[in-house]
Amino acid sequence: MNRDIDSEGQPHANRQYDANDPLRQAFDAEGSVGQSAVMPVIEEQLQVGKKVVETGSVRINKIVREEEVTVETPVVVEKLDIERIPINQYVESAPPAVRYEGDVMIVPILEEVVVVQKRLRLVEELRITKRQEHTQVSQPVILRKEEVTVERRDNDVTTTGTASPNAVNPNANPLL
């Protein structure tokens, strides 16, 4: 009778005899052919976990500096030139309130004159011309610039560096 049994409890013909094999020892201890043997079945289980380990730290300082600069800005100022032109004519009806001749706005000025009969007399017209003057205005402006200091502390090494917006290294580590 072949007593070699594989992992599923079936006889295994190619199995070599090993005196230290627990399966072999269990059957040899019982020794009888008709008797059953109790054999413990052991299974290993794996539990995988992870934990966070601090390897270093980073300290960041931010400084805001103010700088006053002079800014040249073009400014448009509109001014009105008013020219009074005496007309002194009597009119039968009121002229249009406002009329334009090119870029000149003309506003008629009327007055009532008491006579035996009442008539309208055009006293004067206002000629209003709009013109633009271009000037440069200097004005102090406060600009702010930020500087950042990064200090990385590993377990045995401390590294300090500064960065400004004008000096960017594309190969630099963004966390340092």
Tens digit of each residue's pLDDT (9 = 90 or more) over 51-85: 988 888 888 999 999 999 999 999 999 999 999 99
Residue span of the structural domain in which 13 resides: 1-37
Helices (H) and strands (E) in the chain, counts: 1, 5
Kindly report whether the global pTM for this prediction surpasses the value 0.75.
Answer: no
Cβ partners under 8 Å of residue 94, min gap 6: 108, 110, 120
Nearest by Cα to 134 from 45, 52, 46, 74: 74
Q: Domain check: are 78 and 124 in the same one?
A: yes
- Does any domain span residue 160? no
pLDDT score of 104: 92
- The answer to whether 117 and 155 are in contact (CB under 8 A) is no
Joined tokens for residue 96: 């249009």
Q: Domain check: are 33 and 83 in the same one?
A: no
- Does any domain span residue 55? no
- Does any domain span residue 156? no
Report the length, in residues, of the chain. 176
pLDDT score of 27: 58
Number of domains in the chain: 2
Tens digit of each residue's pLDDT (9 = 90 or more) over 77-134: 999 999 999 988 888 888 878 889 998 999 998 888 877 777 788 999 889 899 999 9
- Does any domain span residue 56? no
Q: Domain check: are 78 and 131 in the same one?
A: yes
- Does any domain span residue 19? yes
- Does any domain span residue 163? no
- Does any domain span residue 151? no
Mean pLDDT of 150-168: 67
- Does any domain span residue 54? no
